[in-house]
Structure 1
Amino acid sequence: MDLNSWFQKGLTKDEYIDVMKVNKEGMVSIYDRFELKEEDKKRLEAIQSKKLRAIVLTEDWCGDAKLNNPVLLRVAEAAGMEVRFVLRDQNLELMDQYLTNGTSRAIPIFIFIDQEGNEVGVWGPRAPEMQALVEKGRAALPDKDAPDFQEKQMEFYKSLGKTYQTDSSIWQTVANSIMPAFL
């Protein structure tokens, strides 16, 4: 698989934001408000000479992408890393090489590559702490056969989305999870 070709095929940050329809405002809001810690910036500046790049498998309707993509963009800026966005649903050939647990097309997936196109690391779709939060919320839902399951599930996802949008400590947690994938 030629990851350089996938990188070239991807959308830049501005191109991706321009085509977003669902979570554009939320993603841009997190991007505008998140700032890395100074010690993280220094660590990332030290690897700028590696000229790493990132391919982001994503879709704009994804709540996890709304949280993770803007955090990655800030990490990438500090690392001098170019980022390209590849839409999952139009690029299943690439997505199917990065399935979560070998079966799920969960997104976002961040594929870190060097200048030759060699894979350096992969991250996604969630930080472990966020996965635990989601699992705890799902465990509290009624049985799938219960008449109020869908309503309760939607309430949970809406609440989770609001937390992603407003709890800035989560943004740092995500950054802390992403960086070891390529450092």
Structure 2
Amino acid sequence: MKDLIQKSLAKAISYEEYNVLFKKLVAEGRTTGEATSEKINYTKLNFSRSKRLDKTIKLSEEQNKYFQAINVKQTWLVITEPWCGDAAQSLPFFNKIAENSENIELKIVLRDENPELMDSFLTYGSRSIPKLIVLDKNLEVVNHWGPRSKAATKVVDDYVQKHAKIDEQLKTDLQLWYNKNKGEAIIAEMQDLALCEKNSEVM
């Protein structure tokens, strides 16, 4: 696993580089991976949403203090794709947290270019993204998260249980939930991930 992680990190890009790619894809009417018209449209929509979040996210004073106090070097490696709606809702929060911590380095790889890594972090057998992999200073995997918060997952599970399908209405409902929650569920779960990492190092 460590060799795979090292190879993946060698190809990984920063959040800033990811956004440069994101912007270029939108400008050229393209996307990553298998380019369908649906994925191209989602890429454009996700770019708009993520840019809005980049400008509006504000961590509370308590949240800022929490992430600033993390004293353990770690890398947050995210598997994603620009067309992924859940990723557009979570990546800006990962970045904001990393910006507020001297010890968290955020790196990004594309799912379809890294199938071996993706297949090591499946969700119930599915290549669901985004997937956040928390690595310690020795690049050992200490935790992982994704593709969405537990609260957002419940929104999806409840809808599928009731309607027996994933459709555009579900995507609309999930987007409304994200707008209302304002990233609080994601931030809370990131605090849990970082805390587990910190405790393991202290012990």
- The alpha carbon displacement at 1:162 in A equals 4.4
1:147 equivalent in structure 2? none
1:155 equivalent in structure 2? 169
2:66 equivalent in structure 1? 43
How far apart, in 2, do the equivalents of 1:58 and 1:93 lie?
14
2:15 to 13, 26, 38: 13
Higher relative contact order (Cα pairs below 8 Å, separated by 6+ residues): 1
RMSD: 1.8
Residues 120 and 182 in structure 1, CA contact (< 8 A), matched pair in contact too = no
> Would you say 1:111 and 2:125 are equivalent positions?
no
How far apart, in 2, do the equivalents of 1:128 and 1:170 lie?
15
How far apart, in 2, do the equivalents of 1:7 and 1:37 lie?
31
Q: Which one-letter code corresponds to 1:154 in the other structure?
A: E
> Would you say 1:29 and 2:41 are equivalent positions?
no
Per-residue CA distance 1:21-42 (angstroms, 9 max, x = gap): 4111111211221111211211
> Would you say 1:83 and 2:95 are equivalent positions?
no
Count residues with an aligned counterpart: 171
How far apart, in 1, do the equivalents of 2:21 and 2:176 lie?
23
Per-residue CA distance 1:24-77 (angstroms, 9 max, x = gap): 111121122111121121121111x32211110001111110111111111222
1:74 to 93, 96, 108: 96
> Would you say 1:174 and 2:186 are equivalent positions?
yes
> Would you say 1:123 and 2:145 are equivalent positions?
yes
> Would you say 1:63 and 2:85 are equivalent positions?
yes
How far apart, in 2, do the equivalents of 1:132 and 1:16 lie?
29
Structure 1, unaligned runs of 5 or more: 145-149
Percent identity at matched positions? 30
Residues 65 and 108 in structure 1, CA contact (< 8 A), matched pair in contact too = yes
SS in 2 for 1:136: helix
Residues 26 and 66 in structure 1, CA contact (< 8 A), matched pair in contact too = yes
| TM-score calculated relative to the size of structure 2 | 0.77
- The alpha carbon displacement at 1:175 in A equals 0.8
Residues 95 and 105 in structure 1, CA contact (< 8 A), matched pair in contact too = yes
Q: Which one-letter code corresponds to 1:70 in the other structure?
A: P
How far apart, in 1, do the equivalents of 2:189 and 2:52 lie?
21
How far apart, in 1, do the equivalents of 2:182 and 2:191 lie?
15
1:132 equivalent in structure 2? 154
SS in 1 for 2:143: strand
With over 3 angstroms needed to count, the CA separation of the structure-2 counterparts of 1:130 and 1:170, relative to structure 1, is: farther
Q: Which one-letter code corresponds to 2:116 in the other structure?
A: E
